[in-house]
């Protein structure tokens, strides 16, 4: 990339020197110097126009510049022909340089890679390639080093910089038994960590994959602009031909009207829009990444501006997903026996509720047969020849098991053995601090709605605490999908979730948002936006950045077209010169690029 910019810079310098030298040479040699200057600065534009012609894409800015400058040569305005092409190429160079610097800045912000790891093997330190590290390996991270793999701290206490991954500027303290993620930078003290992932499954690998998969799908604005350009450019060329040929024939003043036609062509080049609009979306995506928000494309960023309803999953999204058992009620069975069956049934499940039960009970699990995890309901299996059901009320109703009505707040896990109700376990979860700020987002949406598979009483209690009026509980994944589809008839919908069960509704939503740390691979892959710090406060950042980006895009469209329209009218009237036309093209391009780059600088 740097070699390309250096080559272009050298080419610009040589062309400029030849142009300046031409003023001090006799007329014949001056013309040769100008032609050489023109060829050096424009040959790549000719090549690109040729390639576009082969693809049947004739009417672009390259074609317009070639016609305009050849016309200038035809009427013997050699200096202006060279300078128009020169300034056009300088504008392209500065635009490419701006885009390159923005990309470099983004990559530096999201530089999560580490090539080696210091592993402890038989009490000795050894530096190995990160690709050779395995789950359960013990490795150390010294102050100033980047953590290579996700893991649990087994020794040491330190502050870590999480900004590359989460966008949080404040250092986070970690100590024994705390989870640390790859991409964090250790700041103060040595940490000994047990790896919970390998290089392929680490958080940093997942994020880098997301960045690589950021697609080039155009936003609605960009698509509209492309369609506009396909109509606009042929019309401009046709009008220029009328001005240059018809008026020349009518008046007999060929030089004047051909010159005005050339000014018309140079002015009409859509460079400002072609360059600045995609750059605006790119800078918006880059600005979001600095806040720990990965937006997968310009269409996704654009869609944020038009969302009418915000839907949120409860567990792991609004709440922390750190479940604990708050109560165990046994019916016609001992508490220990109930827990033994529950722990055994949950042994093969990775669901947060399963982990809470396993962490609570010290009972040794029994052998399980015919294990089946029923999405949105619970577990069915056989233990010691007995049919065991463990799940919510919906599961019990489907299996025709009568259960007690439990009034306590929390997630109720009912237990049935051989079709007989044997009690329940209450699981509670803590609401995220950032969830209490959701009410502040009301101004952005028609309504904020909770969709949960949890008991309606629990969902109601959470909604009450968050001051949200609309909520639905005891939902299966397809129920959530139906609610979103219903509201989509009125406005665009955004769904925020974290689990495998959320992938379906997330994909169907106009904007799907997943949690980056606790989110499942399925939800992250199907979502349009990933909140890397699992912090709901960053939703506001995403919305503000999207609206700021759209505002910049509209500003640039109005400014660029407005200036061009004025200069085009002046060109027809014979008032504007080719230099004014160059400003209307290159100068406006440069100004709108500067306007866009403020997106990357501004703090949202």
**Number of folded domains that form the chain:** 3
Using pLDDT thresholds of 50, 70 and 90, give the confidence band for residue 382. very high
335 plus 389 within the same structural domain: yes
Residue 602 has pLDDT above 70, yes or no: no
* φ/ψ bin of 378: left (φ > 0), alpha (ψ from -120 to 50), beta (otherwise): left
Helices (H), 470-510: 477-488, 503-508
In a domain, 207, yes or no: no
pLDDT tens-digit series, residues 464-491 = 999 999 999 888 778 888 999 999 999 9
d(CA 165, CA 208): 10
Using pLDDT thresholds of 50, 70 and 90, give the confidence band for residue 558. confident
Query: Do 471 and 289 contact (CB within 8 A), yes or no?
Result: no
pLDDT tens-digit series, residues 282-322 = 778 878 877 878 887 778 888 898 899 999 988 778 888 67
pTM: 0.64
Residue 254, token pair as written in the block: 């060929």
* φ/ψ bin of 165: left (φ > 0), alpha (ψ from -120 to 50), beta (otherwise): alpha
11 plus 33 within the same structural domain: yes
d(CA 81, CA 221): 33
Query: Do 394 and 474 contact (CB within 8 A), yes or no?
Result: yes
d(CA 170, CA 176): 20
When mean pLDDT is compared across 44-48, 164-168, 214-218, 309-313, the lowest value belongs to: 214-218
SS3 217: coil
230 plus 304 within the same structural domain: no
Phi, psi values for residue 515, rounded to 5° = -80, 135
Average pLDDT over residues 335-346: 91
* C-alpha dist (Å) from residue 389 to 184, 381, 417, 455, 475: 42, 7, 7, 17, 19
Catalytic residue among 60, 137, 161, 313: 313
CATH of residue 482's domain is 3.40.50.1000
d(CA 290, CA 346): 39
6 plus 99 within the same structural domain: yes
Of 428, 450, 477, the last residue of a domain is 428
Query: Do 144 and 215 contact (CB within 8 A), yes or no?
Result: no
Among 508, 449, 147, CA closest to 313: 449
In a domain, 15, yes or no: yes
Residue 416 has pLDDT above 90, yes or no: yes
Q: What is the pLDDT of residue 423?
A: 93
d(CA 309, CA 321): 24
d(CA 475, CA 392): 11
**H helix or E strand, kind and range, residue 100:** helix 78-109
| 203 vs 128, higher pLDDT | 128
Residue 212 has pLDDT above 60, yes or no: no
Residue 592, token pair as written in the block: 């709108």
Q: What is the pLDDT of residue 209?
A: 62
DSSP string, 451-463: E-SS-HHHHHHHH
d(CA 326, CA 315): 16
231 plus 352 within the same structural domain: no
The strand pairing partners of 493, in sequence order, are: 309
In a domain, 540, yes or no: no
Antiparallel, parallel or unpaired: β 124-129 and 420-428: unpaired
d(CA 496, CA 457): 21
| 429 vs 496, higher pLDDT | 496
In a domain, 163, yes or no: no
Q: What is the pLDDT of residue 600?
A: 62
In a domain, 411, yes or no: yes
**What residues make up the domain containing 252?**
2-107+215-282+547-601
* C-alpha dist (Å) from residue 88 to 11, 97, 196: 13, 14, 54
In a domain, 175, yes or no: no
Of 405, 428, 451, the last residue of a domain is 428
pLDDT tens-digit series, residues 137-163 = 999 998 888 888 889 999 999 888 776
pLDDT tens-digit series, residues 48-65 = 888 877 877 766 667 777
Among 123, 163, 118, CA closest to 143: 118
275 plus 309 within the same structural domain: no
Residue 14, token pair as written in the block: 């040589």
366 plus 447 within the same structural domain: no
CATH of residue 332's domain is 3.40.1110.10
445 plus 303 within the same structural domain: yes
- The residues near 17 (Cβ < 8 Å, ≥ 6 apart) are none
* C-alpha dist (Å) from residue 430 to 317, 424, 561: 11, 20, 53
- Mean confidence (pLDDT) of the chain: 81
Instruction: Measure the CA angle with vertex 26, ends 22 and 31; round to 5°.
Output: 50
277 plus 333 within the same structural domain: no
Phi, psi values for residue 381, rounded to 5° = -160, 180
Beta strands in 470-551 (DSSP E): 470-472, 492-497, 511-515, 529-531
150 is catalytic: no
In a domain, 400, yes or no: yes
Report CA Rg, the chain: 32
Using pLDDT thresholds of 50, 70 and 90, give the confidence band for residue 221. low
In a domain, 287, yes or no: no
First to last CA, the chain: 30
* φ/ψ bin of 261: left (φ > 0), alpha (ψ from -120 to 50), beta (otherwise): alpha
341 plus 395 within the same structural domain: yes
Using pLDDT thresholds of 50, 70 and 90, give the confidence band for residue 213. low
* C-alpha dist (Å) from residue 58 to 52, 392, 421, 493: 6, 64, 75, 40
SS3 259: helix
Of 499, 527, 555, the last residue of a domain is 527
Among 352, 347, 350, 328, CA closest to 339: 328
Could you give the percent of the chain with pLDDT greater than 70?
Answer: 83
479 plus 503 within the same structural domain: yes
38 plus 90 within the same structural domain: yes
- The residues near 328 (Cβ < 8 Å, ≥ 6 apart) are 335, 338, 339, 423, 424, 425, 426
The strand pairing partners of 450, in sequence order, are: 312, 471
For 206, what's the count of Cα atoms within 13 Å in the CB-facing half-sphere? 25
**Number of Cβ within a 10 Å radius of residue 70:** 12
């Amino acid at each position: 990339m740097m070699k390309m910019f250096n080559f272009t810079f050298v080419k610009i310098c040589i062309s400029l020197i030849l142009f300046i030298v031409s003023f001090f040479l006799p007329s014949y040699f001056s013309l040769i110097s100008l032609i050489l200057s023109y060829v050096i600065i424009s040959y790549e534009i000719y090549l690109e126009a040729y390639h576009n012609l082969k693809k049947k894409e004739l009417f672009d800015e390259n074609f317009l510049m070639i016609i305009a400058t050849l016309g200038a040569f035809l009427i013997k305005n050699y200096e202006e022909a060279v300078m128009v092409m020169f300034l056009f190429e300088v504008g392209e160079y500065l635009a490419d340089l701006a885009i390159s610097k923005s990309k470099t800045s983004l990559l530096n912000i999201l530089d999560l890679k580490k090539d080696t790891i210091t592993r402890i093997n038989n009490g000795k330190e050894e530096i190995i390639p990160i690709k050779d590290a395995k789950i359960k390996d013990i490795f150390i991270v010294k102050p100033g080093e980047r953590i290579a793999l996700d893991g649990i701290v087994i020794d040491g206490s330190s502050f870590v910089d999480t900004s590359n991954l989460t966008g949080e500027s404040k250092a986070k303290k970690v100590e024994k038994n705390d989870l640390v993620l790859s991409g964090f930078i250790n700041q103060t003290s040595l940490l000994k960590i047990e790896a919970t992932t390998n290089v392929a499954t680490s958080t940093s690998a997942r994020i880098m994959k997301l960045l690589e998969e950021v697609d080039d799908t155009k936003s609605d604005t960009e698509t509209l602009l492309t369609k506009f350009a396909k109509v606009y450019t042929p019309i401009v060329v046709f009008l220029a031909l009328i001005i240059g040929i018809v008026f020349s024939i009518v008046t007999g003043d060929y030089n004047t009207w051909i010159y005005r036609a050339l000014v018309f062509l140079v002015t009409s080049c859509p460079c400002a829009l072609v360059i600045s609009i995609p750059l605006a979306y790119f800078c918006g995506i880059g600005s979001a990444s600095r806040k720990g928000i990965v937006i997968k494309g310009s269409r996704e960023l654009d869609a944020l501006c038009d969302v009418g309803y915000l839907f949120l999953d409860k567990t792991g999204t609004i709440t922390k997903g750190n479940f604990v058992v708050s109560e165990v009620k046994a019916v016609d069975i001992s508490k220990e026996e109930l827990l033994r069956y529950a722990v055994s049934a949950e042994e093969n499940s990775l669901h947060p509720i399963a982990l809470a039960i396993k962490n609570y009970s010290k009972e040794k699990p029994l052998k399980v047969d015919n294990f089946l995890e029923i999405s949105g309901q619970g577990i069915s299996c056989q233990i010691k020849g007995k049919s065991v059901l463990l799940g919510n009320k919906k599961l019990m109703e489907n299996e025709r098991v009568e259960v007690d009505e439990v009034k306590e707040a929390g997630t109720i896990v009912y237990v049935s053995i051989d079709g007989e109700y044997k009690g329940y376990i209450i699981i509670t979860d803590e609401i995220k601090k950032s969830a209490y700020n959701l009410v502040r987002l009301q101004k952005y949406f028609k309504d904020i709605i909770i969709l949960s598979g949890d008991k309606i009483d629990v969902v109601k209690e959470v909604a009450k605490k968050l001051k949200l009026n609309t909520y639905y509980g005891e939902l299966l994944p397809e129920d959530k999908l139906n609610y979103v589809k219903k509201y989509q008839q009125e406005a665009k919908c955004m769904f925020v979730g974290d689990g495998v069960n959320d992938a379906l509704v997330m994909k169907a939503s106009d904007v799907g948002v997943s949690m980056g740390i606790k989110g499942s691979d399925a939800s992250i892959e199907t979502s349009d936006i990933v909140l890397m710090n699992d912090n709901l406060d960053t939703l506001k950042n995403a919305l503000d950045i999207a609206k700021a980006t759209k505002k910049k895009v509209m500003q640039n469209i109005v400014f660029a077209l407005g200036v061009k329209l004025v200069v085009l009218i002046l060109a027809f009237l014979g008032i504007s010169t080719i230099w004014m036309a160059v400003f209307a093209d290159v100068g406006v391009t440069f100004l709108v690029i500067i306007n866009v780059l403020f997106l990357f600088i501004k703090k949202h």
